[in-house]
Amino acid sequence: MKTNIIKVALRNTLIYLILLILLSISISYITIQISLFVKYGIDGILFNNYSDIPKYINSIFTYNYTYDLLIIVLIIIIFNLTQKLLNYFRNRITTKFKLKINVNLKQELYKHILNLEYESYNSYDKEEMIQRINEDADVYSKFFNNQFNVILDIIFLCVFIIKESIELNWKISIYIFLTIIIILLFSIWYFKKLNISIENMIIKRKQLLRSTIRNINNYKFIRMFNKQKEEERNYKKLNNNYSDEEVRFIKLVLFYDIILEHLTYLKSPIIYIIGGIAIIKRKNDNGIINGFTYFR
């Protein structure tokens, strides 16, 4: 099937894409605002340095320690509740987005089956064909479901974070930027390899099934000419080729999940170390707090 799999998967999903982008922008912006209000609470109120707080926010404070901290806490709670609500809506839209991609791919694959020649169509087990369609559709839809929002969040956090993080701690900014670039490049590489791996599995499964059907239909001919061992060797080779490709596919998926998970978890100790050193040297009293908050 020569159809562009990305175009097929994303057919009639523009409304979901727009909503997910808008929600990711909002969630990323609120994430940055939470970290900034933590900064205002620490540097501005706890250390009595109100000049570090923007004027439009400073105007709501009375320079009363207890009252101003309460205002900061209420604002952060409101931001957190809003963020949770937006995440809830995004999860619902993401589920619909995934299901739409799944439907698009299955429809395209079923259409491809209907266009097969009768002999080719009749040579395959129908349950096997349906299972293969479901597996292929699930692989692509899961990728969009699991990684699309992560990539969007990374992009928009990068946009909002650069100016603020440079002011807080330039070392954390460099680490954040490098991590974003690595994740984006790694995701692009993964999707290309995933597409190739799935195509290879389909080809090798097709060869294995063709060999199976041929041996079943021609078993008398094989016995007559004493070709059992030869066919057994050929079948074993095809079976090993398919199983090896399936193992490579599983390793690829696991490799991507493990690396992405470790990149996510690795951020905390690195930012703690950078922020902790900054605190000890008194170069950035809140570097560790804000740096960690950016990656929530």
Query: What is the rounded CA–CA span in Å between residue 82 and residue 42?
Result: 22
CB atoms within 10 A of CB 267: 18
Q: How confident is the model at residue 235 (pLDDT cuts 50, 70, 90)?
A: confident
Q: Global pTM?
A: 0.64
Which of 140-144, 155-159, 174-178, 188-192 has the weakest average pLDDT? 140-144
- pLDDT reading at 296 higher than 90: no
Name, of 11-20, 29-38, 151-160, 182-191, the range with top average pLDDT.
11-20
- pLDDT reading at 126 higher than 60: no
Tens digit of each residue's pLDDT (9 = 90 or more) over 18-43: 999 999 999 988 888 887 888 788 77
Assign a CATH topology to domain 13-294: ABC transporter transmembrane region fold (1.20.1560)
Backbone angles phi, psi at 29, to 5 degrees: -65, -45
Query: What is the rounded CA–CA span in Å between residue 294 and residue 296?
Result: 6
Tell me, what's the pLDDT at 212?
Answer: 77
Where on the phi/psi map is residue 124: left (φ > 0), alpha (ψ -120 to 50), or beta?
Answer: beta
